[in-house]
């Protein structure tokens, strides 16, 4: 329902933050890892979100990267793992570390996460191992080791693909068009999008 929220970091709580967007303050639950990576109060931030609806509450969970959100959603598919437990796992392990722990059967590393015991760690490994590939884990790790400028370019590329999809193009065509653009470090999303749209006319 809510893919992401972009706004001002208004307040930081013990396990959540308040982000103000469109004169509305949203309370978003976050991991301790996300907490440690937050900018100063008053700064502009973007959180990728998961909207959880229960009988007695509606809650938002937020992540600074789409990768963290995707891993959080993977954890929710594990039988017996709810949003609070999944957030606990990502408080103890980064998305990269969790992938490698699952693929190498390192239950001890997963069990160190808050609220996660040995049996639950084994269950996470059992149910996620078939959904992860070692090649993807290494590729993600390399992406996360990019320099600041390289990461900005990667983020701009991703946003350009999303914009094309929003315009009605298929994700495959959008990705292909963006990949054919000769992207430089000084190009923003708009410049990449313009270049991709020119390429689309030749697809």
Query: Could you tell me the domains of the chain?
Result: 4-63 (2.40.50.140), 67-141 (1.10.150.20), 148-200 (1.10.8.10)
Tens digit of each residue's pLDDT (9 = 90 or more) over 83-100: 999 999 998 888 888 888
Residue 82 has pLDDT above 60, yes or no: yes
What pLDDT is recorded for position 203?
A: 47
**Residues above pLDDT 90, as percent of the chain:** 35
pLDDT tens per residue, range 17-29: 999 999 999 999 9
Angle at 140 between CA 132 and CA 126, to 5 degrees: 20
């Amino acid at each position: 329902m809510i893919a992401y929220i972009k706004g001002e970091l208004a307040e930081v709580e013990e396990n959540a933050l308040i982000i103000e967007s469109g004169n509305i303050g949203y309370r978003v639950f976050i991991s301790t890892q996300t907490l440690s990576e937050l900018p100063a109060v008053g700064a502009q931030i973007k959180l990728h979100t998961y909207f959880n609806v229960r009988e007695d509450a509606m809650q938002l969970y937020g992540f600074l990267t789409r990768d963290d959100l995707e891993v959080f959603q993977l954890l929710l598919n594990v039988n017996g793992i709810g949003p609070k437990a999944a957030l606990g796992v990502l408080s103890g392990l980064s998305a990269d570390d969790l992938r490698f722990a699952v693929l190498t059967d390192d239950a001890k590393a997963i069990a160190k996460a808050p609220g996660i015991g040995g049996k639950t760690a084994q269950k996470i490994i059992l149910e996620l191992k078939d959904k992860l590939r070692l090649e993807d884990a290494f590729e993600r790790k390399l992406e996360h080791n990019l320099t600041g400028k390289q990461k900005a370019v990667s983020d701009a590329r991703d946003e350009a693909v999303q914009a094309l999809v929003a315009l009605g193009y298929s994700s495959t065509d959008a990705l292909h068009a963006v990949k054919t653009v000769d992207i430089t470090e000084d190009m923003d999303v708009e410049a990449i999008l313009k270049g991709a749209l020119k390429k689309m006319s030749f697809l």
